[in-house]
Amino acid sequence: MFFFYIFATHYFLGKRYVVMEKSKILYVTQEIDPFLIESEISSLVRKVAQGVHESDKEIRIFMPRFGVINERRHQLHEVIRLSGMNLIVNDYDHPLIIKVASIPQIRIQVYFIDNEEYFKKKFLFKDASGKYFKDNDERSMFFCRGVLETVKKLGWMPDIVHCHGWMTALMPVYLKSIYSNDPHFSGAKVIYSIYNRDEKIKFSKNLEEKLEFDNIPVSELDIKGSIGVNKLHEIGIQWSDAVGFCSSEIDIVLKELVKSLKKPLLEHQEEEQIIEAHQDFYDKVLSENGVLA
């Protein structure tokens, strides 16, 4: 395993010298342990983020502030200097609230994207009767935009944006379209990781219209009518620089799509290999041509 550093040129007393800077990884995930009940996503992101952090890379982690999260127990508190912005979703203004908490055992901060309308529900994606929320598409859009706008406020420029789960499927689209010329993200590589869950979720039939308000090139997405989780995964795959399969069983159609597009791929890993495999994958994605050996 080798570690990748970013080289920066500095000048001192008229002399040029080069220093090595830590590579920066932005994790955008719908879940992470210990803030939600343990799941495949929450466990893997926690393990990988901790391993990468301990290997001397600089990281930031973002997730939604779902209503089921116990703010008192996890000591969430609002970051006033980052809050206060309004994001337009479906032609309506929605206040963006940023909260933060630490994972005490590993001293890592997690940023939470919050909004009273989208995330006050005491459930994740389904109501008490098991029906998916009709605004899951808008929640996803608000979450992705909220992460990017907050990272800009932080003045932080990630080298890799690693997206975990269908709720982040639109993130590569935002990064490669309306944020493509933003200096905070223009040089970032995007990895989209797929998990085998919420296979029956569908986004609303007017998603195309909603995305048009954000100036997303909807003609390139092929999203006529309501779209399911596999279509979301296809969008994430097509617009990302690299892909991760994080469940042992992945739909064959998605596997063939990755193969046909010749995307760098991190296959599903056994637990004891997860951290090292991700480290190597990051280094390869960040290398000059991003091609796996």
Per-residue pLDDT of the chain (293 residues; tens, 9 = 90+): 444 455 544 444 555 444 456 789 999 999 999 998 889 999 999 999 999 999 878 999 999 999 999 999 999 999 999 998 999 998 889 999 999 999 887 889 999 999 999 999 999 999 999 999 999 999 999 999 999 999 999 999 999 999 999 999 999 999 999 999 999 998 999 999 999 887 888 898 889 999 998 889 998 998 877 789 999 999 999 999 999 999 999 999 999 999 999 999 999 998 889 999 999 999 999 985 444 43
Q: Residue 194: which H helix or E strand, with range?
A: strand 189-194
To 5 degrees, how large is the angle CA 109–CA 115–CA 117?
Answer: 150
What's the token pair of residue 162? 């690693």
Q: Are 234 and 254 in contact (CB under 8 A)?
A: yes
The reported pLDDT for the residue numbered 222 is 85
> pTM here?
0.90
The reported pLDDT for the residue numbered 18 is 42
The reported pLDDT for the residue numbered 17 is 43
Sign of CA dihedral 97, 103, 107, 110: negative
What's the token pair of residue 44? 């893997």
Q: Are 98 and 76 in contact (CB under 8 A)?
A: no
Q: Please name which of 216, 223, 219, 164 lies closest in space to residue 190, comparing C-alpha atoms.
A: 164
The reported pLDDT for the residue numbered 5 is 53
The reported pLDDT for the residue numbered 163 is 98
What's the token pair of residue 270? 């056994």
The reported pLDDT for the residue numbered 210 is 92
Buried b (16+ CB within 10 A) or exposed e, 106-124: eebebbbbbbeebbebeeb
The reported pLDDT for the residue numbered 113 is 97
Domain 25-286 CATH superfamily = Glycogen Phosphorylase B; (3.40.50.2000)
